[in-house]
Amino acid sequence: MRGAQIVVDALEREGVEVVFGYPGGAVLDIFDQINRSKKVRFILTRHEQGATHMADGYARTTGKPGVVLVTSGPGATNTITGLATAYMDSVPMVCISGQVPTAVIGNDAFQEADTSGISRPVTKHNYLVKTVAELPRVLKEAFYIANSGRPGPVLIDLPKDVQQAVLKDYSYPKKIEMTTYKPTYEGNPRQIKRAAEVIEKATRPLLYCGGGVVRALAHEEVLALAERCEIPVTTTLLGLGSFPETHPLSLHMLGMHGTQYANHAMHECDCLIAVGARFDDRVTGKLAEFAPNCRANIIHIDIDPTSISKNVPVTVPIVGDCKRVLTQLLEVIKPKKHSEWLAQVAEWKKQYPLRYKKDDELRPQFVVEKIYEVTKGEAIITTEVGQNQMWAAHYYLYTKPRTFVSSGGLGTMGYGFPAAIGAQVAHPDKIVIDIAGDGSIQMNIQETATAVLNNLPVIVCILNNRYLGMVRQWQEMFYGRNYSAVDLGRPMDEKGRPTDGLPDDVPPYVPDFVKLAEAYGALGRRITRKEDVVPAIEWAIKARRPVFLEFLVTREENVFPMIPAGASVKQMIGGLT
């Protein structure tokens, strides 16, 4: 069998249903095979970055590795942002890139790039395959590494001559034989016992859940532990969906833009159970003042030993799969009541709810709230990056894992739309909505063609403030309102007339998202009044076609509460705008 055939055979054997990518000279041999496959569907994107985020959205909503196929040089370099995004958020992915023939590697050949070198720091592992003999093993290992232990992207750089070379006696390996890579899944029983003791002694325990709970689908175990021991639960951005936000024990998200009650609870708790979270700086703020009352009682469950005690020293480290470790813990831990603590937490929740100004203006928070109400929380929500992302986190209540999809670690603008397309490929019958900003959506808007041509009815809700809103907010708060390079619109006078002297046929909002959607064959609607929000969302859901809903929202809305970067909970800014 030839190398290219081996690749496609491996994809089929690994159960890959869909590959996202873009062709070019150095992968022609694989493209010559992939469209003959009866099992693998290939989706042609409009940019390789789009392909990686689609694979990512597919992976985050299914738990299966997303697969990407691109050419050498620019094709491969275009995947770097997507690989880095997946790497930061532990998303399983296998990216196959073509490479120039082995004989000319290093000669600055046409479309040559040192792809394995460039991708090394943003992948869990990568390979440059030099002979066809090693190809079957590399493919097998790549899929295994991508989706075991702490998941992550794996890149296979495949020179053209290796794709063309013939391997006699090909058989796909059945077993993995890797002596150097053996993730730990089971928790150490002694540590589990210690954890149980620490929790049983606590009077103000708190569960802090991250993306690891979602990846491991440990949500039921979290719920069981929380209920059995009366422990309130806060989650990180990536942890949204790991605990039902409609549950009385939910404290919603914590951290820089977390709820006040979650951050208060973190400050006051005397025992912290961190599950699949990594004490990221957006969560902890100033480390020295982070969670001062639980420092002697921190339990940290994580599959990645490097995440444990990296930023915050922990008392009981437990390396293992969140689901298994929690199951082990549930076997030994006794029920406990914490009525005083829960009363305190409930009081904070009542005292400091998330809030925004309720008036006649069309505010972005209102739009998100309505998306939640209309979809009854049953949609898959993806987000772009910025204020839109935070409002999507605040005003939609997530109750199930894999329903909130967002670039947390890298904060990649342009992620949400292709990720939504990938999620829709995996879940054709679900409502998939990208909550977008007007800036971010333009970073991968070309994928509208992919959505339209593949009949993927993704709904993009653009919260259009004509600003790079989150950056504007920082400039307002920390740079004396010196707005520099954040205005995406045309300069206007008080009466809303453009003052830039451009021709009359330049639309007031650039681009005109409604026309843009229509140009691609998608549907578009602009919403300017509160009362039109619900009908627009209902219309978009009924359409079962790609739709852009452009909400012209209040321009200078801020995301609150906020703990400024590097500050502590005491410096939290809570109020209304």
Partner 1 sequence: MEHVISCLVENKSGVLSRVAGLFSGRGYNIDTLCVAPTQDANVSRMTIVCRGDDRIIEQITKQLNKLIDVIKVIDMTAEEHVERELVLIKVACTAATRADIIQLVNVFRARIIDVDLKTLTVEVVGDARKVEALIELMRSFGIRELVRTGRVAILRG
Given the rule CB under 5 A, which residues bind Mg ion?
A: 437-439, 465, 467, 469
CB 402 within 8 A of CB 432: no
Which helix (H) or strand (E) segment holds residue 344: the answer is helix 339-351
Q: Which residues pair with 524 in a beta bridge?
A: 548
Residue closer to partner 1 (CB basis): 179 or 482: 179
Enumerate helices (H) and strands (E) in the chain, giving the number of each: 22, 18
Alpha carbon of 202 to those of 118, 206, 312, 465: distances in Å?
Answer: 47, 9, 19, 46
Two structure tokens written together for 109: 């050949």
Rounded Cα distance, 346 and 225, in Å: 19
**Which partner from the list partner 1, Mg ion, ligand TPP, none does 285 bind, CB cut-off 5 to 8 Å by kind?**
none
Per annotation, catalytic residue among 110, 351, 378, 571: 110
Largest CA distance in the chain: 76
Question: Does residue number 388 form part of the binding site for ligand TPP (CB under 6 A)?
Answer: yes
Is 111 in the active site? yes
**x/- map, 164-203, ligand TPP, by CB under 6 A:** ----------------------------------------
Alpha carbon of 469 to those of 273, 318, 436, 496, 529: distances in Å?
Answer: 34, 40, 11, 19, 20
Cα angle: 274, vertex 275, 277; to 5 degrees: 80
Rounded Cα distance, 328 and 558, in Å: 43
CB 212 within 8 A of CB 273: no
Q: Binding residues for ligand TPP, how many (CB under 6 A)?
A: 19
* Nearest distance, CB of residue 475 and ligand TPP, angstroms: 11
Q: Measured in whole angstroms, how far is the alpha carbon of residue 234 from the centre of its chain?
A: 18
Question: Does residue number 128 form part of the binding site for partner 1 (CB under 8 A)?
Answer: yes
Rounded Cα distance, 292 and 408, in Å: 25
**Which partner from the list partner 1, ligand TPP, Mg ion, none does 301 bind, CB cut-off 5 to 8 Å by kind?**
none
* Nearest distance, CB of residue 181 and partner 1, angstroms: 5
> Using only C-alpha atoms, what is the Rg of the chain?
25
Question: Does residue number 182 form part of the binding site for partner 1 (CB under 8 A)?
Answer: no
Question: Does residue number 179 form part of the binding site for partner 1 (CB under 8 A)?
Answer: yes
Residue type, 545: R
Contacts of partner 1 in 61-120 (CB under 8 A): 116-117, 120
Two structure tokens written together for 176: 């993995």
Per annotation, catalytic residue among 14, 20, 48, 365: 48
Rounded Cα distance, 6 and 170, in Å: 8
SS3 state of residue 258: coil
Question: Does residue number 259 form part of the binding site for ligand TPP (CB under 6 A)?
Answer: no
Rounded Cα distance, 261 and 380, in Å: 26
Question: Does residue number 413 form part of the binding site for ligand TPP (CB under 6 A)?
Answer: yes
Question: Does residue number 32 form part of the binding site for partner 1 (CB under 8 A)?
Answer: no
Alpha carbon of 135 to those of 6, 22, 117, 179: distances in Å?
Answer: 8, 21, 19, 18
**Which partner from the list ligand TPP, Mg ion, partner 1, none does 411 bind, CB cut-off 5 to 8 Å by kind?**
ligand TPP
Per annotation, catalytic residue among 124, 140, 160, 323: 160
**Which partner from the list ligand TPP, partner 1, Mg ion, none does 353 bind, CB cut-off 5 to 8 Å by kind?**
none
Q: Which residues pair with 318 in a beta bridge?
A: 301
E-assigned strand segments in 61-203: 66-70, 93-99, 125-128, 153-159
Question: Does residue number 468 form part of the binding site for ligand TPP (CB under 6 A)?
Answer: yes
CB 235 within 8 A of CB 394: no
* Nearest distance, CB of residue 100 and partner 1, angstroms: 17
Residue closer to ligand TPP (CB basis): 251 or 486: 486
Residue closer to Mg ion (CB basis): 291 or 443: 443
**x/- map, 365-384, ligand TPP, by CB under 6 A:** -------------------x
**Which partner from the list ligand TPP, Mg ion, partner 1, none does 181 bind, CB cut-off 5 to 8 Å by kind?**
partner 1
Rounded Cα distance, 154 and 146, in Å: 6
Residue closer to partner 1 (CB basis): 123 or 327: 123
Question: Does residue number 156 form part of the binding site for ligand TPP (CB under 6 A)?
Answer: no
Residue closer to ligand TPP (CB basis): 158 or 421: 421
Question: Does residue number 440 form part of the binding site for ligand TPP (CB under 6 A)?
Answer: yes
Is 256 in the active site? no
Is 413 in the active site? no
Per annotation, catalytic residue among 17, 42, 111, 164: 111
Q: Which of 171, 306, 482, 484 binds partner 1 (CB under 8 A)?
A: 306
Q: Measured in whole angstroms, how far is the alpha carbon of residue 375 from the centre of its chain?
A: 20
Which helix (H) or strand (E) segment holds residue 464: the answer is strand 459-464
**Which partner from the list Mg ion, partner 1, ligand TPP, none does 207 bind, CB cut-off 5 to 8 Å by kind?**
none
Closest CA to 194 of 52, 346, 269, 298: 298
* Nearest distance, CB of residue 284 and partner 1, angstroms: 15
**Which partner from the list Mg ion, ligand TPP, partner 1, none does 471 bind, CB cut-off 5 to 8 Å by kind?**
ligand TPP
Residue closer to ligand TPP (CB basis): 141 or 550: 550
State the residues that interact with partner 1 by CB under 8 A: 116-117, 120-121, 124-125, 128, 145, 178-181, 304-306, 309-310, 313
Q: Please report, as ranges, the residues that interact with ligand TPP according to CB under 6 A.
A: 384-388, 411-413, 437-440, 463, 465, 467-471
Point out the residues that are catalytic: 48, 110-111, 160, 470
